[in-house]
Amino acid sequence: MAKRRRKPKKQQTPEHGPVEGTYQIDTGVAELIEDDYTPDGWVLEINGMESSHIVLGRPRELDFEYMRWLAAVIEPYVDTHLDAEKLRITHLGGGACSMARYLADVYPKSRNTVVELDGKLADYVREWFELPKAPLVKIRVGEARAVTESFAPQSRDIIIRDVFAGYITPEPLTTLEFTQIAASSLAENGLYIINCGDNRDLQGARAEAAAIAQVFPHTCIVADPAMLKGRRRGNIILAGSFSPLPLDGEVATAAIAKRLLGGGVPAQYKDDAWVRDFARSGKMRRDPAADLSAETAL
């Protein structure tokens, strides 16, 4: 995502809430920037990369397109297969907790657990932004894979993976084995949905689509057409579920298509058949131990 232009700011010294500046965190440097184009909007950068956008007082205002795409898949799935009064949602990757804040507002009886690697950043985010308190939004400090491996079977309804180190997701979170671990912690009607950042060759997205398609009986992809045609790098949303995605019918597909076309970057929804065809040329990533076992077997 391109960085926002910003104008010089007057010195701000509020007693509470966000203040522009750079802050040392456990994994490097965070920079908090007031958004000149959105009243009460703030951009959080981590080590020079845009990580999150948040609007104070308006939790349902999602500035990043890919987050709106996540919501466009999650909400109809909840309506069809899950109990909105008892949702257990895990967010792998925290940042400013924008998505957790959004879903906590949409589903006020849900329990959102955000897994964030950087403990100092988690403290700052609680200090800067009006995050709902636990159990509505709980921040758990830890490495995403290790924390996911600790989940009890069938203990989550939705897992959202949005973890990045720079432009890419750490490889241990992209393998077939990790996808299986995540799937084992989902309830019978659970949904696994990820934000995949990829280059024009789309090899990362194809690899992850292949893993998700092997583990889950139902899949979908959301991205803008230029990304799917390999014309630029960007974000692709991939989802796998144990129950039929409610977007497979003609009426539902038309409804989500209309929603996805409404943003600044129009996106397309692709169904299970399209995903499996897309994944056919992908090479699934495997854990090192799994690769070694395969070589030994040969």
Q: State pLDDT tens for residues 51-78.
A: 999 999 999 999 999 999 999 999 999 9
User: Among 272, 108, 105, 78, which Cα is nearest to 187's?
Assistant: 78
User: Would 105 be classed as within a structural domain?
Assistant: yes
DSSP for residue 133: P
Say if residue 171's pLDDT is above 60: yes
Q: Is the dihedral of CA 214, 218, 222, 226 positive or negative?
A: positive
Whole-structure pTM value: 0.91
**What tokens were used for 256?**
């989500």
CATH number for the domain harbouring residue 270:
3.40.50.150
Say if residue 97's pLDDT is above 90: yes
Measured CA to CA, the distance from residue 48 to residue 30 in angstroms comes to 8
How many CB atoms neighbour CB 261 within 10 A? 10
* Secondary structure of residue 80 in the 3-state scheme: helix
User: Would 30 be classed as within a structural domain?
Assistant: no
Average pLDDT, the chain: 89
Within 8 A by CB and 6+ apart from 107, the residues are 78, 84, 87, 89
Measured CA to CA, the distance from residue 203 to residue 205 in angstroms comes to 5
User: Would 183 be classed as within a structural domain?
Assistant: yes
Averaged pLDDT for residues 244-269? 75
Phi-psi label, residue 277: left if phi above 0, alpha if psi -120 to 50, beta otherwise = alpha
The whole domain housing 181 covers 65-283
Within 8 A by CB and 6+ apart from 217, the residues are 241, 242
Say if residue 46's pLDDT is above 80: yes
- Split into its structural domains, the chain has a count of 1
Residue 166: band (very low, low, confident or very high) from pLDDT cuts 50, 70, 90: confident
Say if residue 36's pLDDT is above 60: yes
Lowest mean pLDDT segment, chosen from 5-14, 73-82, 170-179, 277-286: 5-14
Environment class of 298 (CB within 10 Å of its CB; exposed 0-12, middle 13-18, buried 19+): exposed
Find tokens 């908090």 and name the residue. 32
Say if residue 188's pLDDT is above 60: yes
User: Would 9 be classed as within a structural domain?
Assistant: no
User: Would 179 be classed as within a structural domain?
Assistant: yes
How many CB atoms neighbour CB 134 within 10 A? 12
pLDDT tens-digit series, residues 134-165:
999 999 999 999 999 999 999 999 999 999 98
**With contact defined as beta carbons under 8 Å apart, do 212 and 176 qualify?**
no
Residue 293: band (very low, low, confident or very high) from pLDDT cuts 50, 70, 90: low
| Diameter over CA atoms, the chain | 66
Query: Could you tell me what percent of the chain has a pLDDT over 70?
Result: 89
User: Would 254 be classed as within a structural domain?
Assistant: yes
156-161/49-55 β-pairing: unpaired
Say if residue 111's pLDDT is above 70: yes
- pLDDT at position 5 is 42
Say if residue 249's pLDDT is above 70: no
Residue 297: band (very low, low, confident or very high) from pLDDT cuts 50, 70, 90: very low
pLDDT tens-digit series, residues 113-138:
999 999 999 999 999 998 999 999 99
**What tokens were used for 160?**
């959202």
49-55/41-46 β-pairing: antiparallel
User: Would 164 be classed as within a structural domain?
Assistant: yes
